[in-house]
Amino acid sequence: MMNTEALFATPAGIARAAAILRGGGLVAMPTETVYGLAGDARLDATVARIFAAKGRPGFNPLIVHLENLAQARELAVFDARAEALAQAFWPGPLTLVLPRRADAGLSPLVSAGLASVALRLPAHPVARALLAAFGGPLAAPSANPSGRVSPTTSAHVRDGLGGRIDAILDGGACEVGVESSIVGLTGPATLLRPGGIPLEALEAALGSRLVTAADPAKITAPGQLASHYAPSAAVRLNVTSPLPDEVWVGFGPACPGAALTLSPNGDLVEAAAALFHILRRADALAGPNGAIAFAPVPETGLGRAINDRLRRAAAPRT
Ligand code: TXA
Ligand code: MG
């Protein structure tokens, strides 16, 4: 176990975090979606430490985070579709999977041997300040042990990875609450993971439809494993009449007696922001052999990302 430094979003805290990163260390940083476990994407040993700290399988590639579009264009080939999506949604909760430039200088481990690379410009002011201070590409998967619930506060990060990483930069609770939408552009434009930008908005900006998985629980992005976001308790979905021993999580006003709610008024933005926090609270309430039942959430807007995470939380564990 190592001592994991607690850093705050002050100029001194950000400078310290950037210095740790320049030394090849790992820093958990806030983004508008979830906390990411950041390390220098150019260093093999650092990228290998990210995989080790998370217990992440090496075939599951990482997202590279950048401060600006010029840096992104140095790493990957942008076609007209990529330019349109970047203009519309960067900085923000969108990741683009693009053909990687051969001379990009990234560790090959980042892309798990693929010829593509996943890029994102986060919007969170603390992430942007850290990227500016560091000045290079940061590989950053969500800052949770592989397969577990993603972190939306620094306390969640410490619970999962405390003692395994160099520092946690505290930037408060994440506003969006679900990970970025991932769009693959190495072939037909494909939604590889629903996330913080709704499918409808992506299609409006592109002016065309995206390919989506017919079965949303099907593995699309490598490492989009069926069982993910798993709490300890069992999870049931689309429950309108919970069993007596289940912790019922409601959505909207029609869930009288629910122990917790994703959003009392049925607001999908509020529900996305609350999702991972509620999943942790429900798990604590249910206890080790308990069960959690989620009320139905509509499959529109951010509901697509919420349902994707809930299906993976409910999937049979391996
Ligand atoms: O919001 C987010 O995207 C957060 C924050 C920290 O930025 N990050 C995040 O990273 O969710 P992670 O590692 O938990 O999820 C990355 C996803 C994985 O499903 C991975 O398979 C996919 O991105 N991915 C990465 N590189 C890819 C590539 N070259 N081709 C296809 N999928 C890729
Ligand atoms: Mg993740």
Q: pLDDT tens track of the chain, all 318 residues? A: 899 999 999 999 999 999 999 999 999 999 999 999 999 999 999 999 999 999 998 889 999 999 999 999 999 999 999 999 999 999 999 999 999 998 899 999 999 989 999 999 999 999 999 999 999 999 999 999 999 999 999 999 999 999 999 999 999 999 999 999 999 999 999 999 999 999 999 999 999 999 987 644 444 565 566 777 788 899 999 999 999 999 999 999 999 999 999 999 999 999 999 999 999 999 999 998 899 999 999 999 999 999 999 999 998 886
* pLDDT at site 192: 94
User: What Rg, from alpha-carbon coordinates, does the chain have?
Assistant: 19
Asked whether 40 lines ligand 1 (CB < 6 A), one says no
Q: Kindly give the number of the ligand 1 atom that is closest to the alpha carbon of 223.
A: 21
* Element spanning 236, H or E: strand 234-236
Ligand 2 geometric centre to CA of 250 (Å): 24
Find out whether the beta carbon of 114 lies less than 6 Å from any atom of ligand 1.
yes
Give the pLDDT score at 231.
86
Q: How far is CA 75 from CA 81, 183, 313, in A?
A: 17, 17, 34
pLDDT of residue 225: 65
For the chain, list the domains and their CATH numbers.
Answer: 5-206 (3.90.870.10), 234-314 (no CATH)
- Do the Cβ atoms of 21 and 134 come closer than 8 Å? yes
| Ligand 1 lined by 39 (C-beta under 6 Å) | no
CB 114 within 8 A of CB 51: no
Q: Say if CB 14 and CB 169 are below 8 A apart.
A: yes
**How many angstroms does the Cα of residue 147 sit away from the middle of ligand 2?**
7
Ligand 2 midpoint to CA 150 (Å):
6
Which residues on neighbouring strands pair with residue 261, listed in sequence order? Answer: 250
42: helix, coil or strand?
A: coil
- Buried (b) or exposed (e) across 121-143, using 16+ Cβ within 10 A? bbbbebbbbbbebbebbbbbbbb
Q: Ligand 1, atom 24: nearest CA belongs to which residue?
A: 61
- Whether 34 is in the pocket of ligand 1, judged by its Cβ within 6 Å, is yes
Strands 27-29 and 234-236: unpaired
Which residues carry a binding-site annotation for ATP?
A: 56, 60, 150, 193, 229
ipTM over 0.95: yes
- 257 C-alpha to ligand 2 centroid (Å): 32
**Alpha-carbon span 207 to 33, nearest angstrom:** 25
DSSP string, 242-309: --TTEEEEE-SS--TT-SEES-TT--HHHHHHHHHHHHHHHHHHH-TT-EEEEPP--SSTTHHHHHHH
Distance from the alpha carbon of residue 314 to the mean position of ligand 1, in angstroms? 20
Q: Which ligand is nearest to the CA of 197?
A: 1
Give yes or no for residue 144 CB within 6 A of ligand 1: no
The three-state secondary structure class of 62 is: coil
Sheet holding 94-99, edge to edge: 5-8, 167-170, 27-29, 36-40, 138-139, 63-65, 116-120, 94-99, 181-184, 190-193
pTM for the predicted model, two decimal places? 0.94
pLDDT for 271 equals: 98
Q: Which uninterrupted H or E stretch holds 86?
A: helix 80-89
